[in-house]
Amino acid sequence: MREIFIRIGEPLLVALTLSIYEFMSLTRTQRWLLAAIPLIFLGLFFVYPILSIFKISLFPEGRFDAASLRALWEKPYYLRVIWFTIWQAALSTLGALALGLPAAYLFAKFRFPGKKLLRALVTLPFVMPTVVVAVAFIALIGPRGLVNQGLMALFGLEKPPIQLLHTLGIILLAHVFYNTSVVIRMVGGFWANLDPRLEAAAAVLGAGPWQRARHITLPLLFPAILAAGLLAYLFNFTSFGVILILGGPKYATIEVEIYRTAVRLFNLPVAAALSILQMGFTLAMMAVYTRLQRRMTAPIEFQSVRRTQRPLKTTGEKLLAVGIFTTLAVFLLSPLLALVIQSFQTDEGLGLAFYRALFVNRTGSIFFVTPIEAARNSLAFALVTILFSIIIALPAAYLLSEPDRRRFSLSRLLDPLFMLPLGTSAVTLGFGYIVALNRPPLNLRASLIIVPIAHTLIAFPFVLRSILPVLRGMNPHLREAAQVLGANTVRVLRHIDLPILRRSLLVGVVFAFTISMGEFSASLLVTRPQFPTLPVAIYRLLGQPGRFNFGQAVAMSVILMAVTAVGYVIIENLRYGDIEEF
Amino acid sequence: MKRIPILILIPILILTLAACAPELPKAGMPTPIEGGGQPIPPKETPAEAPTKAHEATEVTLVTHDSFDASEEVLQRFTEETGIKIDILKAGDAGEMLNTLLLSKDAPLGDVVFGIDNTFLSRALAGDLFVPYQAPALADIPDKFKLDPENHLLPMDYGYVTLNYDIKWFEEHDVAPPKDIEDLIKPEYKGLTVVENPASSSPGLAFMLITVWRYGDKGEYTFLDYWRDLKKNDVLVTDGWSDAYFGQFTAGSGGEGDRPIVVSYATSPAAEVFFNNLPEPPTASVNTPGNSFEQVEFVGILAKSKKQEAARKLVDFLLSPTFQEDIPTHMWVYPANSKADVGDLFRKWAEVPQEPAQLAPDEIAAHREQWIEAWTDVMLRE
C-alpha cells in the first residue's frame, strides 16, 4: 500500500504542482492546447460513443425512424416517469442538504476529537453497492428488522409499525443516505477556509446571527452549496439501483425506463429518445446552475483552518454537536453498523466464520478471489481513476475559471458538457462503447483500461466541482500583492494557490476514489472476470443461494467499507514537501 | 523552458496509461498499476489480423454473469489443445444478447454460452451463429435441441419453480404450497415474493408458467391470475438476489418475511452444499405444470476467425469432463446424458414433473407484449 502510494502519489503531486506553475505562465494558445486534454477525453469516451449509439438507434437504415417513437407520446406513462424523476430528485436533494448543511457547519468550524474518523465514516455510504444497502435497510427497518422488532416489543404491537419497503419514503431515505456526504464534504471543505473576520466585523457592526447568516455566510457559501446540490441532484436524477431494489418495480426513473426499454424490450429507438430527453434536462439544469453560479461568485479571502476552527466551548455548541452526531448516526451510520453486526452473526453465534470462508475456494472456481486480491484490484482501478480525473479536471477547471468578459465564450459551452456524463444513462453509454470502440486503435470494449475510463467520466466532474468554487473565488489581488512584494510566480503558487487548492482538490479526490471503489458504472461494461474487484466479488456471492453466500457477501461489504475508510485517511493525510495544511 | 515538457508530458502520460493495460494472467494477479509500463500486445481483431484457425492459441468465450467453472477443469482444455480460454462477461443473458447483436460485425469473441430458450428465437433471427454438428449432440436428448440446424447447441438445463421455507410452514401450521393455484388462496395471503419478469430471468420464467397454464385469451387469462395474486398481496422485486436474500424467510439472516419465493429446483441442493447442512431448509414445488424448463445454449459466432479453435471449445464444453463440473458451479443439470450429475443433485435436486411447454418462437413473438401487459396490470393499474 505504502509502496503504491509513494510510486503514484509523489510523481502525481509533482506533476500537479508543476502543471499549476506552468499554467499560470502560459500564453493563450498554450492554455488552449492544455484544454484540449479534457476535450479529447470527453470526445473519445463520451461524445463519440453516445452519438454512435444514437445513430444506430434512431437511424436504423440510414433514415430517421419516427414510427418506433410513437409509444413515447401515445402512453401517458412516460410523462409520469419523467415527472417522477424530476421531483423525487428534488426532494432527495433537499433532504441531503437539510441533513448535510448542519453537519458541514460542524466539520468546518470546530475541532473535536475523532473528527477525521467521523468524516471518513459519513462518506462511506457513497461506496456501498445498492444490493448491500438494500439488505442493510431491510435488516434495520424491514418488517422483521431491528427497529420494528424493538417497537413491537416496546408497545406490544401485533404488526410492524414501519412499513417502508417499496415506498417513496425508502427511496428518499436511501438517496439521503447516499448523498449527504457530498454536501458535508463539498460545503464543509469550502466553509472551513472562509475568513471568519467578515462575520466578526458584521457582529461588531451590530448584525445578529440570523442577519449574519443571511447576508454574509450563505451568500459566500452559495457556490459550494450549489455545486454540491447539483451533484446530488444529478445522482438522484439518474438513480437506478435504489429505485429498482428499494423502491420496487412500481417506481421508475428515466434511467430505469431506458434500461428496461433497451435491454428488456429491445426497443433501441425509444431508449435513445429517452436518453436524449434525460441529457436535455441535464443540460437545462446546468444552464440554470451556471447562471446562478456566475452571478453569485464573489472574490473571497480564504483563511487557514488553524484560524477558522476552534474547539467546542459553550453548552449550546456542545448540544448542537450532539444533536448533529445523533442525526448522522441514525441516517448514515446505523445501516452500516447493521451490516457490520450481520457479518459477525453466524448460526453458531458471533464469529468470524464468514470472513474465514472468504479465503477458501470451495468449488475450485476460476472466478474465486480472496478479499486481498479483490481489494488490490479495486485499489488499482481507483488509483488510475484518481490520476485520470485530476489530469482532466485541472485543465478543465482553469479553463472555466478564467474570467470571461464576453457573453458567449467557449467556456460557457463547456461547463455543461463537463457535467453531462453525470446525467447520462449508463446503459446508453455502455452500448455506445460496444458500437463505437470496436476498431483498433480504439478497440477498448473489453480492455481493462475502459474500467477506469468509465469511472473517470463520473469522477472527474466531482474533482472539477470541488476546485472550481475555490479557483473562481480566489482573490486576484492576493496574488498580485504577493507579486508586488517580490514573490515570483512559483512562490505565489506554492504559498497561496496550492495550499488553498490542495484542500478542495483532496475533497474531489476522495469522491473520485469512492466512485471507483463503489463501481458506479460496473454494470454497463463488458468485464474481464480475471480481475474481480470487491463489488464484483460481492455480486458473485449474492448470485447463488445459501445463507453462507449471503453472510460472505456481507463480510466482503464490510471489507469494502474498511478498505475505503483506510483510503480516506491516507488521502486526507497526503502531503507534499512543505506545503502547509490550510 | 519548463513550459514545453509539461505540455507534452501530460498527453504522453495519458497515452501511456491508456496503452499499458497489464497482461492477463490466470492466477496470482498483480495489480494493473504494478504491471504498468508494459503495453499489452495488440489484440487480435478478425478484421486486421486474421489468424489461421490451426494457429489460434487463445479462444474467447463470451458469457453471462452467472457462468462459473473449476479452474482445474478449464485448465484441462488448455493442456489438451494448447489453447487458452479468455472469458468475457457481458451482463445477464438479455444484456449479453444485446451486446452480441450490437457487436455483430466486430465480434467480442468466438464462442457464446448462456442464451436460453426464452432468447433463442431472437438470437437466431439476429443471424449471429454458424451451425455446428458437434459429435456430442449424439448424447444430448432431442427434446433440448430446440434449434434443428444446430446454430445453438444445448449445454445445460434447469427449472424455475417455487421454493418454500420448510420450517416456517411447520411452525405456522399451514400446508406448504403444492401448486401455483395455492398462492391465490386466502391462507397464502402475503406469503409470496416473485421477481419482475421485465427485469429478471426467473421472473420471466414464472410469468411464462402462468401464460402456459391460463393462456392469454379467454375467460380467465394469466393476467387474471396475476390480478388475483396481486389481491393476495404478492410482493414483486426487481431481481432474484433481492427476492431470495432480502425477502425470503429462509434466504438470509431471517429478516425477510415471505416464506415462498420463485427460485430454482436446485436451490435446496445449493442450500445444503453452501451451508454444510444434512438436509435442506427449503423445498421446491416439483408437481406437474408448476415449473419452467430453461435450456441454455452454446454457439460459435459466425464472424469469429477462429472457427477451428471455437469448435474445439464447444466440444469440450459439451464433453462429460466439463458437463460434470456444471451442477455445483452453475446449479443446473448437464445436457449431456453421459455426464454424471453427482450425489448432491440425485439426492436433493429432483427434476420437476411436466414443466410448462412454450415454444421459443411463441415466446419471442409475444415476450414484449406479455411483459407490457403484465406491467400494466401489476404496476400501473
Contact residues on chain B for A135, CB-CB shorter than 8 A: 245-246, 252, 255
Is pLDDT of B36 > 90? no
Residue B49: pLDDT band by 50, 70, 90 thresholds?
very low
Residue whose grid cell is 462477461: B89
B348–chain A nearest CA distance, Å: 14
> What phi, psi does B145 have (nearest 5°)?
-80, 80
The dihedral sign for the CA sequence B18, A422, B237, B259: positive
SS (H, E, C) chain B: CCHHHHHHHHHHHHHHHHHCCCCCCCCCCCCCCCCCCCCCCCCCCCCCCCCCHHHCCEEEEEECCCCCCEHHHHHHHHHHHCCEEEEEECCCHHHHHHHHHHCCCCCCCCEEEEEECCCHHHHHHCCCEECCCCHHHHHCCHHHCCCCCCCEEEEEEEEEEEEEEHHHHHHCCCCCCCCHHHHHCHHHCCCEEEECCCCCHHHHHHHHHHHHHHCCCCCCCHHHHHHHHHHCCCEEECCHHHHHHHHECCCCCCCCCECEEEEECCHHHHHHHHHCCCCCCEEECCCCCCCEEEEEEEEEECCCCCHHHHHHHHHHHHCHHHHCCCHHHHCCEECCCCCCCCHHHHHHCCCCCCCECCCHHHHHHHHHHHHHHHHHHHHHC
Rounded CA-CA distance B146/B162 in Å is: 25
Q: What is the pLDDT of residue B100?
A: 94
Q: What is the mean pLDDT of residues B15-33?
A: 39
Q: How confident is the model at residue B203 (pLDDT cuts 50, 70, 90)?
A: very high
Nearest residue in chain B measured CA to CA from A243: B238
pLDDT at B15 over 60: no
Cβ distance of A366 and B99 shorter than 8 Å = no
What is the pLDDT at residue B136? 96
Q: How much is the pLDDT for A24?
A: 54
Q: Quick check: helix, strand or coil at residue A428?
A: helix
The reply to whether A67 falls in a domain is no
Note whether A124 and A562 are within 8 A (CB).
no
Banded model confidence at residue A289, pLDDT cuts 50, 70, 90: confident
DSSP assignment of A327-349: HHIIIIIHHHHHHHHHHHEETTE
- A199-228 average pLDDT score: 86
| Least confident among A273-287, A385-399, A499-513, B263-277 | A499-513
- Average pLDDT along chain B: 86
pLDDT tens digits, one per residue of B76-92: 999 999 999 999 998 88
Q: Which residues of B touch A544 (CB under 8 A)?
A: 270, 274, 331
B256/A142 touch (CB, cutoff 8 Å), yes or no = yes
pLDDT digits (tens, 9 = 90+) for B119-143: 999 999 999 999 999 999 999 999 9
The answer to whether A57 and A412 are in contact (CB under 8 A) is no
Choose the weakest-confidence range: A96-110, A220-234, B155-169.
A220-234
Helix (H) or strand (E) holding A471, with range, is helix A450-473
| Mean pLDDT, range A471-490, rounded to an integer | 65
Is A25 in contact with B3 (Cβ distance < 8 A)?
A: yes
Which helix or strand (DSSP H or E) is residue A111 part of?
A: strand A110-111
pLDDT of residue A345: 84
CA A391/CA B319 separation, integer angstroms: 51
Of residues B193 and A131, the one with the higher pLDDT is: B193
Q: CA of A437: how far to CAs of A444, B77, B149, in Å?
A: 6, 31, 33
Is A282 inside a domain boundary?
yes
Q: Which of A127-131, A376-380, B36-40, B87-91 has the lowest mean pLDDT?
A: B36-40
| DSSP-derived pairing of the beta strands B235-237 and B192-195 | parallel
Report the run of H or E that residue A310 belongs to, with start and end: strand A310-311
Half-sphere exposure of A570 (CA within 13 A, CB side): 17
Q: Nearest chain A Cα to B48, which residue?
A: A440
Query: What's residue B225's pLDDT?
Result: 97
Q: Distance between CA atoms of A212 and A199, rounded to whole angstroms?
A: 6
Q: Which among B24, B99, B246 is the nearest to A530, CB-wise?
A: B24
Smallest CA–CA distance from B372 into chain A, residue = A265
Q: In the predicted model, what is the mean pLDDT of residues A315-341?
A: 91
Domain with A524, as residue range(s), is 2-62+72-572
CA distance A55 to chain B (A): 12
Lowest mean pLDDT segment, chosen from A159-173, A321-335, A373-387, B293-307: A159-173
Q: How many Å separate Cα B148 from the centre of its chain?
A: 22
Residues B273, B63: Cα–Cα separation, whole Å: 25
Of A224, A312, A153, A363, the closest CA to residue B331 belongs to A363
Is the pLDDT assigned to residue A439 strictly greater than 90? no
* A73 pLDDT tier (thresholds 50, 70, 90): confident
Q: How confident is the model at residue B20 (pLDDT cuts 50, 70, 90)?
A: very low
Cβ pair A265:B372 closer than 8 A: yes
Nearest-CB residue to A528 (from B24, B102, B199): B24
Give the mean model confidence (pLDDT) for residues A353-380: 92
Query: Do A260 and B267 count as a contact with CB atoms less than 8 A apart?
Result: no
pLDDT of B202 above 60:
yes
**pLDDT tens sequence across B300-325:** 999 999 999 999 999 999 999 999 99
pLDDT at A28 over 90: no
Residue by residue, DSSP assigns A514-582 as HHHHTTTTGGGS-B-TTS--HHHHHHHHTTS--HHHHHHHHHHHHHHHHHHHHHHHHHHT---TTPPP-
- Give all domains of chain B, ordered by start, each with its CATH number: 53-157+294-348 (3.40.190.10), 159-292+359-380 (3.40.190.10)
Inspect the interface and report whether the beta carbons of A448 and B26 lie closer than 8 Å: no
Q: Report whether pLDDT(A21) > 70.
A: no
- Residues A507, A185 contacting (CB under 8 angstroms): yes
Residue A477 falls inside a structural domain: yes
Confidence of residue A350 (pLDDT cuts 50, 70, 90): confident
Distance (Å, rounded) from C-alpha A383 to C-alpha A1?
11
| Residues facing A510 on adjacent strands | none
Query: Which CATH number do you get for residue A115?
Result: 1.10.3720.10
**In chain A, how many domains are there?**
1
Q: Looking at CA atoms only, how far is residue B131 from chain A in angstroms?
A: 25
Query: Crossing angle, helix A371-401 and helix A410-419, to 10 degrees?
Result: 160
Q: Is the pLDDT of residue A300 over 60?
A: yes
The per-residue pLDDT of chain A, averaged, comes to: 83
Q: A64: which residues sit within 8 A by CB, 6+ positions away?
A: A58
How do residues A522-557 score in pLDDT, each as one tens digit?
556 777 788 888 988 888 888 888 888 888 988 999
The confidence band for A443, taking pLDDT boundaries of 50, 70 and 90, is: confident
Strand partners, B162: B262
pLDDT at B23 over 70: no
B39 has pLDDT over 80: no
Query: A441 preceded by cis ω (within 30°)?
Result: yes
Residue in chain A closest to B364 (alpha carbons) equals A265
**CA distances (Å), origin B80, targets A317, B139, B301, B312:** 73, 21, 23, 10
CA of A445 to nearest chain B CA: how many angstroms apart? Answer: 8
